[in-house]
């Protein structure tokens, strides 16, 4: 395959190289596994599957040689966040509770990737049960940002973002509940997508907040992310929240010329930005032709973080009740212990501090006498936030903001202040509450050379518009030479 500089890096490059005979799937997989070992100091992977990956690569090479082409993902290495079920491979959710758990089935998104010919090389690290914004809550240690190992990669899908940013794989899957794909994508300088709620099946995704969770891709390019979403999206009878909605060819949408477009800038998202952050957002947008920037109002944004942490924690409290030390997972109580002792001892040993914090918060919010005051009010705030977006989209085609208010912060900088950590997702949580599709695209660097991300939010089911404008940002930033 030649030296490292000649190695294909993006999905398009790998697909072309496989079909031209420049390389084989087996070579791509060996290279990806080798890079994973070279970068193991990043702690991006919790497990690798060299034998399974090499077998799948051999099959891909045989199929491609015989003319059986499954599409652009065929023979390409991918990584999967370790809260998405993979048959016979560990799915630990980065928790001691599931340390030895291997599911008996694939998540729908994973099966669709396999059907498209993608080759899974391993499972990536995350904040425990996807609860966190820095990947420092993993029971197996934090992930380090490949661009600066003294800093966090973002969370909760930090391992999947780092695996792409380090060049180990061109594509990976994460999950996004309140920003857990978009925020680490921004902090690691890659592309990350949260699709419309219901666009991708949640079957096989270990539940955190069921009304918010969505599986989404990371990639080195917008077109690559569009290609992955194309493969995993679509209705699923195993998920009642996943209807069979029409889909465009999103990778093709990325290549279409875009005419004049009205881009909304929420005043609530820009009011408190530093001058450097404001320039990172407005610089690319103001420099593009045929882009009309329109100030829009999302007045209920101020309730978003509070509403999110009530709703998501309440759902986590219910969803994590199944982890009881009885059916599967850790069980630490003595055989003569009564049932209550088994529950308490197993959950105390199995769950980390942040998971316990959210279970307690959610249980309190759902308890008698507090339900209406907290959970009920949070639902009202959520509805108001969704209404704000509906009104904004009457004026504009898409909405743009920074993905995160800061670039990657240092390890341990926010671990002692949960509120400061939660505010890392202040720009991503509102669109999650509204169920809207959103993407983070790299957009230049700060004074330390760390990447900013621009978030593009589109109306429900309009991923095509989102990908089109995100590609435009990507092209402008690349031509300006402002990537780190």
Query: Which CATH number characterizes residue 141's domain?
Result: 3.90.1300.10
Distance CA 118, CA 203 (A): 19
- Domain-located, residue 162: yes
Number of domains within the chain:
1
pLDDT at 3: 42
Q: Band the pLDDT of 331: cuts 50, 70, 90.
A: confident
Are 442 and 383 a contacting pair, CB within 8 Å?
A: no
Record the pTM.
0.96
Choice among 24, 81, 139, 404 that is catalytic: 81
Residue 407 lies in a domain: no
Q: Does residue 197 fall inside a structural domain?
A: yes
Band of residue 335 on the pLDDT scale cut at 50, 70, 90: low
**Would residue 97 count as lying in a domain?**
yes
Q: How many CB atoms lie within 10 A of CB 222?
A: 28
What's the chain's average pLDDT? 95
3-state DSSP assignment of residue 94: coil
Instruction: Please indicate whether residue 180 is annotated as part of the active site.
Output: yes
> Region 415-422: what's the mean pLDDT?
89
The CA distance from 176 to 198, in Å, is 12
pLDDT of 337 reads 74
Active-site residue flag, 156 = yes
Q: Would you tell me how many other CB atoms lie within 10 Å of the CB of residue 52?
A: 17
Question: What was the pLDDT predicted at 484?
Answer: 64
**Residues with Cβ within 8 Å of residue 224, at least 6 apart in sequence:** 10, 11, 12, 170, 171, 191, 217
Question: Which of these, 461, 478, 450, 473, lies nearest to 189 by C-alpha position?
Answer: 450
Joined together, the tokens standing for residue 380 give 């009202």
Residue of 201, 221, 244 lying closest to 72 (CA atoms): 221
Q: Which domain holds residue 137?
A: 4-253
- In sequence order, what are the residues at sequence separation of 6 or more whose Cβ sits closer than 8 angstroms to the Cβ of residue 349? 96, 330, 332
pLDDT digits (tens, 9 = 90+) for 6-20: 678 899 999 999 999
* Annotated catalytic residue within 180, 317, 346, 404: 180
Q: What is the end-to-end Cα distance of the chain in Å, rounded?
A: 27
Could you tell me which residues come within 8 angstroms of residue 340 by beta carbon, excluding any fewer than 6 positions away?
Answer: none
Bigger pLDDT: 324 vs 169: 169
Instruction: Give a yes or no: residue 290 inside a domain.
Output: no
**Does some domain include residue 81?**
yes
259 is a domain residue:
no
For the chain, the C-alpha Rg in angstroms (whole number) is: 21
pLDDT computed for residue 1 by the predictor: 41
Band the pLDDT of 58: cuts 50, 70, 90: very high
Mean pLDDT of 62-78: 98
Q: What is the pLDDT of residue 355?
A: 97
Q: What is the mean pLDDT of residues 401-422?
A: 94
Quote the DSSP letter at residue 404: S
Residues 347 and 196: their CA atoms lie apart, in Å, by 33
Predicted confidence (pLDDT) per residue in 350-362, tens digit? 999 999 999 999 9
Q: Rounded to the nearest 10 degrees, what angle do helices 222-232 and 108-115 cross at?
A: 110
pLDDT at position 4: 45
Q: Please identify which of the residues 133, 134, 156, 157 carries the catalytic annotation.
A: 156
Instruction: Report the C-alpha gap between 74 and 113 in whole angstroms.
Output: 9
Q: CA–CA separation, 251 vs 4, rounded Å? A: 27
**Is residue 169 domain-resident?**
yes
pLDDT band of 483, cuts 50, 70, 90: low
């Amino acid at each position: 395959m030649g030296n490292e500089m000649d190695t294909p890096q993006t999905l398009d490059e790998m697909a072309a190289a496989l079909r031209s005979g420049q390389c084989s799937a087996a070579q791509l997989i060996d290279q990806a596994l080798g890079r994973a070992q070279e970068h193991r100091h990043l702690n991006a992977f919790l497990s690798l599957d060299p034998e399974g990956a090499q077998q799948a690569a051999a099959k891909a090479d045989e199929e491609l040689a015989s003319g059986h082409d499954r599409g652009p993902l065929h023979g390409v290495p991918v990584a999967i966040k370790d809260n998405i079920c993979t048959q016979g491979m560990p799915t630990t959710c980065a928790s001691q509770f599931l340390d030895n758990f291997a599911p008996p089935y694939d998540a729908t998104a994973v099966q669709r990737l396999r059907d498209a010919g993608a080759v899974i090389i391993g499972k990536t690290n995350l904040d425990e049960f996807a609860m966190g914004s820095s990947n420092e809550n993993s029971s197996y240690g934090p992930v380090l940002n490949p661009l600066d190992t003294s800093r966090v990669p973002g969370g909760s899908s930090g391992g999947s973002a780092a695996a792409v940013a380090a060049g180990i794989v061109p594509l990976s899957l994460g999950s996004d509940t309140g920003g857990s794909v978009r925020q680490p994508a921004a902090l690691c300088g890659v592309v990350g997508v949260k699709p419309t709620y219901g666009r991708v099946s949640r079957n096989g995704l270990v539940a955190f907040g069921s009304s918010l969770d969505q599986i989404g891709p990371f990639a080195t390019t917008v077109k690559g992310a569009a290609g992955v979403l194309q493969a995993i999206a679509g209705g699923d009878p195993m998920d009642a929240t996943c209807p069979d909605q029409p889909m465009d060819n999103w990778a093709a949408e990325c290549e279409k010329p875009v005419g004049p477009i009205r881009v909304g800038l929420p005043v609530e998202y820009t009011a408190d930005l530093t001058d450097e952050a404001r320039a990172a957002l407005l610089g690319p947008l103001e420099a593009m032709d045929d882009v009309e920037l329109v100030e829009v109002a999302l007045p209920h944004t101020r309730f978003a973080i509070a509403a999110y942490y009530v709703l998501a924690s309440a759902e986590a409290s219910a969803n994590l009740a199944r982890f009881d030390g009885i059916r599967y997972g850790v069980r630490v109580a003595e055989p003569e212990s009564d049932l209550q002792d088994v529950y308490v001892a197993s959950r105390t040993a199995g769950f980390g501090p942040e998971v316990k914090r959210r279970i307690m918060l959610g249980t309190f919010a759902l308890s008698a006498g507090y339900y209406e005051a907290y959970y009920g009010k949070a639902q009202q705030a959520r509805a108001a936030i969704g209404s704000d977006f509906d009104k904004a989209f009457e004026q504009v085609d898409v909405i743009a903001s920074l993905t995160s208010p800061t670039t990657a912060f240092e390890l341990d900088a926010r671990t002692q202040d949960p509120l400061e950590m939660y505010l890392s997702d202040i720009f991503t949580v509102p669109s999650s509450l509204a169920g809207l599709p959103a993407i983070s695209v790299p957009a230049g660097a700060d004074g330390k050379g760390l990447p900013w991300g621009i978030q593009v939010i589109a109306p429900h089911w309009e991923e095509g518009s989102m990908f089109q404008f995100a590609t435009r940002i990507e092209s402008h930033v690349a031509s300006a030479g402002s990537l780190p």
